[in-house]
Structure 1
Amino acid sequence: MKLIYRLILFLLIGSFTHHLSSQEDFIYENQVWVGYLTSSRVSDRISIWNDAHFVPESFLIVRTGVTYHFNYSEKVKGSSTLGFARLWLYSQNDITPTRNEYRPWGQTTASFNLNKFTITNRFRYDARFRQEIEDNVLLDSYEFNWRLRYFLMAKYPLIVNDEKNTEWYAYSFNEILFDTGRNVTNGFRLNQNRFTVGIGYKFDNLRIQLGYLNMIKNPPVDGSKVWANTAMLMVFHNFDFRNNKKQ
């Protein structure tokens, strides 16, 4: 039980941090985030990753990759993915044009069960090539920096029906993102903190999650932070193309 309490405490760090920061100057935003993520298993070890995310007036990203599945131990499942992402970065004014971003990326995950909880850890690396803008004109040059991300999620089953292969569950996660590189102030900075709570429904090879995401985003230069209240809808679709499995 002590481990569970520690886990819940860690997941609440994001929410507690937001509360402590509430007296700072913020720009407040309300937004919607929708995403569709697929994993297509082509062998016992290999699957193909594809996903797309859209936040109106903020960004659109499409991402692909190849995942290698393995086990750290009998109880801990892992995977590593290498891929490439294409982004369109939108501005909230009518002057600044849409910027392009190209992002090679990689991640490693570890998942295990703790009593009834399913715990997922993820470390992700983004190499960000973002198109430069000068006087509201897009340039042919690109700025480059790295982004490091740590993600911790806990999922708890609420209603499980083994006969129909369905499940209702609650989930919460916290993700911390850091920028680093020559183009980053002081070479290293906190980029964002993302804290989410929500509920999900699983049936067959499909999962649908609806949640509330609270993001605090630091500006790249001195200025007000952004406090984003976000309604998040995620759809996860798993396919199995191995010869001995049916889709």
Structure 2
Amino acid sequence: MKKKHLILFLLSSLFSFSQNEKKVDHQSILWTRYYNQLTLNNKWSVHTEFDNRVFLKPIAENLFVFRIQGRYKINSAVEVGSGFTYFSVYTQDPNKNFGFEIPEYRGQQDITYKKNYNKITINQRFQIEERFIHNASKTKLLEGTTFNWRFRYRLQAEYPVWEKQNKYLKAIVYDEILINAGKNIVYNTFDQNRIYGALQYGFNKNIAVELGYLKSFQQRPSGIDYFDRDIIRLSVFHKIHL
């Protein structure tokens, strides 16, 4: 009788474990970005960003991003920003194309703190996002949006590898954690962690190109589904001074 109870216990434990086992989807993505910084004066600037993301295996459109924000320098170390972001999501699975895009409208506010330690610059950013995601089924868009908060903290380090006149090469690394919050968040309070490394080359004071690798591990709303993403990111930075 005891053996029977033990077998039932082991089977139920195994079933419970299998139900909660993580389901990880590995993906490869290319992010390409144009980032414009319009400096109005010593304190104020307007930053505009266009970002397109494409799956590589197989090749398929992931999403498109437009972001605009105003930034204000409190002093040489502290800066604040506020802006708006529009996402157009085609699919999160390169093997599935639903034939329509899901819009997301996002407000954002951040504060950054920068400090130099010899040649290394440490940059910390805390950002809050208000996300309004358009409701959708597997076949069409539905009425209304779903709202949730997201909190982001990024710790970044920059090191100048080489510099001559107005040209330069610097290395960049950062780690960023993203946390969801709100009544609609049930199983995925942890959103994702991003680890990034890159080299940025400046042609002059106004034009720079950055190539980097980003590792993203993201939890989906189910709580047991995850994205493990290998991302190549190519960015062009363009500064305009008024």
Superposition TM-score, scaled by structure 2 size: 0.83
- Report the alpha carbon displacement of residue 58 of structure 1 after superposing the two structures with TM: 2.2
1:45 counterpart = 2:46 = no
Q: 1:32 is matched with which residue: 27, 30, 51?
A: 30
Partner residue, 1:17: none
SS at match of 2:173: strand
Q: 1:102 is matched with which residue: 94, 102, 105?
A: 105
Structure 2 CA distance for aligned equivalents of residues 223 and 166 of structure 1: 47
SS at match of 2:98: coil
Larger radius of gyration: 2
SS at match of 1:184: coil
Partner residue, 1:170: 171
CA contact (8 A) 2:98 2:138 kept: no
Q: Sequence identity, in percent?
A: 26
- Report the alpha carbon displacement of residue 135 of structure 1 after superposing the two structures with TM: 4.7
1:116 counterpart = 2:116 = no
> 1:133 corresponds to which letter in structure 2?
A
Unaligned runs of 5+ in 1: 1-22, 242-247
Structure 1 CA distance for aligned equivalents of residues 223 and 153 of structure 2: 25
> 1:171 corresponds to which letter in structure 2?
I
Q: In the TM superposition, what whole-angstrom CA distance separates every residue of 1:5-33 from its partner, at most 9, and x where no partner exists?
A: xxxxxxxxxxxxxxxxxx96421001101
Structure 2 CA distance for aligned equivalents of residues 49 and 198 of structure 1: 21
SS at match of 2:189: strand
> 2:145 corresponds to which letter in structure 1?
Y
CA contact (8 A) 2:90 2:98 kept: no
1:61 counterpart = 2:59 = no
- The size of the alignment, in residue pairs, is 212
Q: In the TM superposition, what whole-angstrom CA distance separates every residue of 1:36-63 from its partner, at most 9, and x where no partner exists?
A: 1121111221111111111123221101
CA contact (8 A) 2:22 2:224 kept: no
Structure 2 CA distance for aligned equivalents of residues 229 and 80 of structure 1: 30
Structure 2 CA distance for aligned equivalents of residues 149 and 211 of structure 1: 20
